[in-house]
Amino acid sequence: MAWNMIQLLFPALLAILPLCLYRRNGRRMSRFYLMMVSLETARKFYAQLLVVFLLVFHFVYVSGHPGEYGVLLSTVLSVLLCPFRRADRWLHRIHEGRKTFMLLALSALATGFIPHLYTMAVTVGFLLLAALFYPSCTVLSGWKDEKTREHWREYPEVLSGYYY
């Protein structure tokens, strides 16, 4: 019973995190934006944190629902995100392509109602959430310009306007 209650926290995060953090100009989010744009190691850590979070979700789900084999497909998807280059490429494609984002969002909603694919829906939901907070290609290319870089370092609160 406790595993099922813990399991419900994961989908709740899919609704709470974007409401609280998306396009915020606070000091912490500005620092997050600056770190994600400036350091490739921060993006690597972000991608690996996503993989660990998904694997913890799968562990909690399997602990609460033993014998459920629908989790295997979403676990394979989670493990495919382990190499950083692949995760980086996927997160950029999802973030940049509106059609890709919408298609994945609709497929996550649809698979959420299929009993054995619930974990796949949550996995795709967290992949969408991670892509939402991933830096865009335009802000990464803007970081290469020295003048823009110094402006963003001096005024990190303006970075959120370029980040998405």
Taking the model in full, what pTM does it have?
0.87
pLDDT of 40-97, one tens digit each? 999 999 999 999 999 999 998 888 888 888 899 999 999 999 999 999 999 999 999 9
For position 102, what pLDDT does the model report? 96
pLDDT of 94-121, one tens digit each? 999 999 999 999 999 999 899 889 999 9
Nearest Cα to Cα of residue 112 among 101, 122, 127, 104: 122
Distance from C-alpha of 13 to C-alpha of 26, rounded to nearest angstrom: 20
Neighbours of 163 (CB within 10 A): 21
